[in-house]
C-alpha cells in the first residue's frame, strides 16, 4: 500500500488543531484509526439520508474517547456525498429548547458553521442560497420557461411547511436582490436565514416579513433548510450537535425536560419517517444518556426508544440502533495513529520522517510509564506532546530523539469541567 499524499493545507490544519488540543475540521481521514464498523454504519446512514430518509444517532463515549473526532469525520464524509452540514457545540447559552434566546443562539451557531464540499470549513450558507438561484436558472433554461416560474414553484413547495411562508418570502427577497442587483437585499436575506435578526421590526423593515427565526422555530427551520438545500441541488442536511452533556448539566428540571422533548420530536420524526433528507448526530457522554435522574433516560419516552439491544452484550455488537457506543482506541490503534501523525507532519514524504519506527514504540513506553498503561484510551494530550516532539526535531535537526524523549512531560486527560460539577449541584434541582 502506498501512503496517501497530504495537501499542505490539510497538514497545517491537522497539526495546528491537534497541538492546540482541538479536533481538526478538515483532513480527519488522514489520521483516522480504528472504528471501521462504526464508520461503516454511519456511511449507511448518510446514504439513506441522500435517498430521502431521516436518521438520528447518539454517539456516546467517555471524555476523550473521540466523539468530537468521530462527528467531524462523519461530517467530512457527508460533504463528499454532497450533503450540506451544520454543526455546533451545546453550551449553557446554546440549547435545543429555550425561551430566552438560547435556542436561536444555537441555531445561529449552526448556520455560521454551514459547510459544503466547496467550503468545508464553514460560512457556506450564502453560497448555498446563491446556488439555489443558479440551479433555478439552469432548470428554467432546460425547461424553456422563465426563471420566475421555477422560483415560484420552489417557493410554493417551501411555503407548505411549518414556518415556510416567511422562509419562502425571504428567499423571494434574495431572488429580487439577485435580479435587480440589490446586494443589500441579498445580504439581509442571508442574515435572516442565519437567525441573526433580533427583532421583528428590523426584519420587517429590511425584508417585509413579519417573523424572525426565534427559539420556538428551531427545529422547524432545520426541516425547512433540509428541503431548501435539496432545491439548491444538494442531497440533504446533516446536523451535528456536540457537547450534549450541557443539557444534563441544566439545573432546572423543567428546562431539561423541554430540551429532551425536543430531542424526542427529532427521534420520532426519524423513526417514523416524517422528516426527509435530514440527519442528526448527537455527541454525548454516558451520563448524558444513561443517568436516570438527569440524563436522556430520565425522560421515559426517550429511554424506551433509546434502550440498547439486550442481546448485544458480552462482546456482541449491534450498530443498527440509535445509540452508537464509541469503544476506546486500542494500543494497536494508537501505534497506527502515531505512524499517521508522523506521515502527516512530513506532508506525506516518507524521506522527511523525523522519527524511526523504534521511536514510536519508545514514545508509547514513555507514555505508559508517565500516565499508566491505559494512556492510549484518551489520546488528546499524548497526541499533542507527540506533535510537539516532532516540532522540536524539525527546528533542531541535530537534536537526538532519545535524549528529547526523556524530557517529554505528559499530563493525563481529565475533564476539569465535570469535576467542577460539585456536590452542591445536587440541590440545584430545587432551585428552579
Ligand atoms: N478514531 C480516531 N483516530 C484518530 N484520532 C482520534 C480518533 N478518535 C479520537 N482521536 C483523537 O483523540 C483525541 C480526543 O478525541 P475527542 O474527539 O476530542 O474526544 P471527545 O470528544 O470524546 O472528548 C483528539 O485529539 C482526537 O483527534
Ligand atoms: Mg468532544
Mean pLDDT by 10 residues, the chain (432 residues): 81 96 94 94 96 96 93 97 98 97 97 97 97 95 94 93 94 95 97 95 96 96 97 97 97 96 96 91 96 96 85 69 90 96 96 96 93 86 94 92 86 64 40 36
- Does residue 2 sit within a domain? no
Indicate whether 111 and 245 sit together in one domain.
yes
How crowded is residue 66: how many other Cβ atoms within 10 Å of its Cβ?
Answer: 27
Indicate whether 83 and 131 sit together in one domain.
no
Indicate whether 266 and 183 sit together in one domain.
no
Indicate whether 259 and 336 sit together in one domain.
no
- Does residue 226 sit within a domain? no
Where is the domain boundary, 309, 325, 341?
A: 325
Indicate whether 67 and 134 sit together in one domain.
no
Give CA angle at 246 (213, 419), nearest 5°.
160
* Cα(91) to centroid(ligand 2), Å: 12
Where is the domain boundary, 282, 299, 325?
A: 325
- Does residue 249 sit within a domain? yes
- Does residue 411 sit within a domain? no
- Does residue 275 sit within a domain? yes
- Does residue 288 sit within a domain? yes
Indicate whether 105 and 130 sit together in one domain.
no
Q: Which domain holds residue 342?
A: 331-405
* Cα(262) to centroid(ligand 1), Å: 28
Indicate whether 395 and 364 sit together in one domain.
yes
Indicate whether 148 and 183 sit together in one domain.
yes
From CA 231, how far away is CA 167, in angstroms rounded? 14
* Smallest CA separation from ligand 1 atom 15, residue: 66
Ligand 1 pocket, 66 CB below 6 A? yes
Ligand 1 pocket, 34 CB below 6 A? yes
* Cα(206) to centroid(ligand 1), Å: 44
* Cα(122) to centroid(ligand 2), Å: 19
From CA 71, how far away is CA 341, in angstroms rounded? 20
* Cα(68) to centroid(ligand 2), Å: 4
Cell (9 digits) for 374? 491505559
- How many distinct structural domains can be found in the chain? 3
- Contact of 243 with 88, CB cutoff 8 Å: no
Ligand 1 pocket, 18 CB below 6 A? yes
- Contact of 108 with 194, CB cutoff 8 Å: yes
Note the pLDDT of residue 321: 85
Indicate whether 210 and 267 sit together in one domain.
no
- Does residue 19 sit within a domain? no
From CA 245, how far away is CA 288, in angstroms rounded? 5
Indicate whether 144 and 199 sit together in one domain.
yes
Note the pLDDT of residue 312: 65
Q: Are strands 84-89 and 54-60 parallel, antiparallel or unpaired?
A: unpaired
pTM of the model as a whole: 0.92
Where is the domain boundary, 180, 215, 250?
A: 215
For residue 62, the ligand closest to its alpha carbon is: 1
Give CA angle at 153 (147, 155), nearest 5°.
100
Closest ligand 1 atom to 72 CA: 17
Closest ligand 1 atom to 18 CA: 25
- Contact of 335 with 359, CB cutoff 8 Å: no
Indicate whether 114 and 239 sit together in one domain.
yes
Cβ neighbours of residue 406 closer than 8 Å, sequence gap 6 or more: 366
Note the pLDDT of residue 353: 96
Indicate whether 38 and 108 sit together in one domain.
yes
For residue 23, the ligand closest to its alpha carbon is: 1
From CA 283, how far away is CA 38, in angstroms rounded? 14
- Does residue 77 sit within a domain? yes
Amino acid at each position: 500500500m502506498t501512503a496517501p499524499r497530504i495537501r499542505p493545507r490539510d497538514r497545517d490544519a491537522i497539526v495546528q488543531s491537534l497541538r492546540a488540543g482541538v479536533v481538526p475540521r478538515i483532513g480527519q481521514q488522514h489520521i483516522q484509526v480504528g472504528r471501521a464498523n462504526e464508520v461503516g454504519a454511519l456511511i449507511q446512514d448518510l446514504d439513506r439520508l441522500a435517498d430521502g430518509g431521516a436518521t438520528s444517532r447518539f454517539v456516546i463515549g467517555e471524555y476523550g474517547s473521540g466523539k468530537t473526532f468521530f462527528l467531524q469525520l462523519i461530517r467530512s464524509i457527508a460533504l463528499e456525498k454532497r450533503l450540506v452540514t451544520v454543526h455546533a457545540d451545546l453550551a449553557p447559552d446554546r440549547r435545543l429548547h429555550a425561551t430566552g434566546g438560547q435556542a436561536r443562539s444555537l441555531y445561529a451557531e449552526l448556520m455560521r458553521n454551514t459547510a459544503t464540499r466547496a467550503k468545508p470549513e464553514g460560512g457556506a450558507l450564502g453560497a448555498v442560497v446563491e446556488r439555489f438561484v443558479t440551479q433555478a436558472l439552469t432548470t428554467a433554461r432546460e425547461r424553456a420557461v422563465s426563471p420566475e416560474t421555477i422560483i415560484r414553484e420552489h417557493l410554493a413547495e417551501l411555503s407548505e411547511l411549518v414556518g415556510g411562508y416567511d422562509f419562502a418570502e425571504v428567499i423571494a427577497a434574495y431572488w429580487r436582490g439577485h435580479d435587480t442587483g440589490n446586494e443589500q437585499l441579498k445580504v439581509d436575506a442571508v442574515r435572516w436565514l442565519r437567525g441573526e435578526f433580533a427583532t421583528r421590526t428590523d426584519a420587517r423593515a429590511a425584508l417585509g416579513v413579519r417573523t424572525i427565526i426565534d427559539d420556538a422555530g428551531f427545529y422547524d427551520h432545520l426541516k425547512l433548510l433540509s428541503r431548501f438545500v435539496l432545491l439548491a441541488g444538494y442531497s440533504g442536511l446533516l446536523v451535528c450537535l456536540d457537547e450534549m452533556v450541557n443539557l444534563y448539566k441544566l439545573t432546572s428540571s423543567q428546562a431539561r425536560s423541554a430540551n429532551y422533548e425536543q430531542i424526542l420530536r427529532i427521534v420520532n420524526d426519524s423513526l417514523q419517517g416524517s422528516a426527509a433528507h435530514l440527519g442528526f448526530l448527537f455527541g454525548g457522554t454516558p451520563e448524558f444518556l444513561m443517568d436516570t435522574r438527569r440524563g436522556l433516560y430520565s425522560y421515559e419516552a426517550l429511554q424506551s426508544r433509546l434502550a440498547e439491544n439486550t442481546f448485544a452484550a458480552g462482546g456482541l455488537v449491534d450498530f443498527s440502533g440509535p445509540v452508537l457506543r464509541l469503544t476506546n482506541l486500542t494500543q494497536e490503534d494508537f501505534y497506527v495513529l502515531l505512524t499517521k501523525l508522523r506521515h502527516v507532519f512530513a506532508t506525506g514524504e516518507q524521506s522527511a520522517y523525523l522519527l524511526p519506527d523504534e521511536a514510536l514504540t519508545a514514545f508509547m513506553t514513555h507514555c505508559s510509564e508517565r500516565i499508566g498503561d491505559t494512556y492510549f484510551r484518551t489520546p488528546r494530550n499524548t497526541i499533542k506532546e507527540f506533535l510537539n516532539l516532532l516540532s522540536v526535531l524539525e527546528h533542531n535537526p541535530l537534536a537526538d530523539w532519545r535524549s528529547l524523549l526523556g524530557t517529554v512531560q505528559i499530563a493525563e486527560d481529565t475533564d476539569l469541567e465535570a469535576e467542577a460539577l460539585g456536590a452542591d449541584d445536587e440541590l440545584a434541582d430545587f432551585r428552579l
